[in-house]
């Protein structure tokens, strides 16, 4: 099943888990519509045709949802009875930390083991350096920033570009570095607008004709920074909020490969008899981590990336 926000790489992970679990002798099922589908019995046995030709597709063919009903015991019990009816004894959930916590509560109630595959463009799941969908989202941002740079240089304008990520600035940081942005504001780093003004004004005096600023949505600084550039630097400035375009697109090669590696690891975890583990990729190695070890933690960002971004904040 897929749950929470959609992310490129979910479909390759679906295909991998179906095909690999069948190789090990299991009978795989598909849950449509996320947590809501568990409650409403949108469950069917997986056919080969269901997962054929989906590797290149963004989003999730199983669709997703966020269900408030799943917080209520009676609805979780209904979900459990639906699984029992189909003879389903193990679950794989492809999603974010909210989905993992929901399934962990489900395990506490009914002892249905699950394996979690991290999939969120925010890259904010603690314990793993990478989540499915991140590379595709970064490439979507790169493509759009490159296009905006063309018009910025043509009209001698400043563009403030707001990226998604909730309270995590990873997308903004990685995009700012790889697109050559002049400014980057993220929740993880303190910024000094006066220092930024001095730096940019010096560049403008030396001939700079345009600039790109990338702001994480968690800063809530997009509108303000756009007005600030107009007032302080006397440059025509426009705000572009990329929004949900960052979620779409055909999965990159990296996201497809990561989906297969995570998918195989998830099936193997359940096959070994593990109960509530999350698949993680840390420092170049793949492993599993119990969900309780991640509860209450916050995701860290590569300290090298943070150091690279600091000059863009001042």
Which H helix or E strand runs over 52? none
Whole-angstrom Cα distance, residue 131 to residue 241? 23
Which of 124, 209, 132, 207 is CA-nearest to residue 171? 124
Q: Which position among 6, 40, 122, 124 bears the catalytic label?
A: 122
Structure tokens at 215: 């702001």
Strands (E), the chain: 29-31, 43-45, 91-95, 114-118, 158-163, 183-185, 211-216, 237-241, 276-282, 285-290
Of 25, 43, 32, the residue nearest 83 (C-alpha): 43
**Overall size of the chain counted in residues:** 314
Of the candidates 9, 17, 3, which has an alpha carbon nearest to the alpha carbon of residue 90? 17
96 alpha carbon, distance to own chain's centre? 8
Q: How far apart are the first and last CA of the chain?
A: 44
Whose tokens are 């519509």? That residue is 33
Q: Report whether 114 contacts 90 (CB < 8 A).
A: yes
Rounded-to-10 torsion of CA 199, 203, 204, 206: 140
Nearest to 124 by CA among 93, 162, 164, 170: 170
CA 222 to chain CA centroid, nearest Å: 21
Whether residue 6 lies in the annotated active site: no
C-alpha 276/C-alpha 166 separation (Å) is: 26
Q: With DSSP H G I counted as helix, E B as strand and the rest as coil, what are the percentages for the chain, rounded to 5?
A: 50, 15, 35
Catalogue the active-site residues.
122
């Amino acid at each position: 099943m897929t749950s929470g926000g959609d992310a490129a790489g979910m479909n390759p992970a679906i295909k991998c888990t179906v095909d690999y679990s069948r190789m090990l002798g299991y009978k795989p099922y598909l849950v449509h519509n996320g947590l809501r589908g568990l409650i409403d019995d949108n469950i069917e046995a997986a056919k080969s045709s269901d997962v054929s030709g989906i590797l290149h597709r963004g989003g999730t063919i199983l669709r997703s949802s966020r269900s408030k009903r799943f917080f209520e015991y009676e609805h979780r019990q209904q979900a459990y009875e639906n699984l029992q009816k189909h003879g389903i004894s193990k679950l794989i959930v492809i999603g974010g930390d909210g989905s993992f916590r929901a399934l962990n509560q489900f395990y506490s109630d009914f002892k249905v083991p699950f394996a979690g595959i991290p999939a969120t463009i925010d890259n904010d799941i603690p314990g793993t350096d990478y989540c499915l969908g991140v590379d595709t989202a970064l490439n979507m941002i790169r493509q759009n920033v490159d296009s905006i740079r063309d018009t910025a240089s043509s009209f001698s304008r400043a563009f403030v570009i707001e990226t998604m990520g909730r309270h995590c600035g990873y997308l903004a940081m990685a995009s700012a570095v790889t697109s050559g942005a002049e400014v980057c504001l993220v929740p993880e780093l303190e910024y000094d607008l006066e220092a930024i003004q001095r730096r940019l004004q010096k560049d403008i005096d030396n001939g700079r004709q345009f600039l790109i600023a990338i702001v994480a949505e968690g800063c809530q600084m997009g509108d303000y920074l756009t007005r600030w550039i107009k007032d302080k630097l006397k440059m025509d400035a426009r705000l572009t909020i990329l929004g949900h375009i960052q979620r779409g697109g055909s999965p990159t090669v990296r996201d497809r490969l990561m989906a297969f590696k995570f998918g195989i690891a998830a099936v193997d975890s359940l096959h070994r008899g593990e109960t509530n583990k999350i698949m993680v990729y840390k420092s170049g190695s793949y492993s599993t981590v119990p969900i309780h070890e991640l509860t209450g933690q916050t995701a860290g960002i590569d300290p090298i990336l943070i150091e690279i971004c600091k000059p863009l904040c001042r």
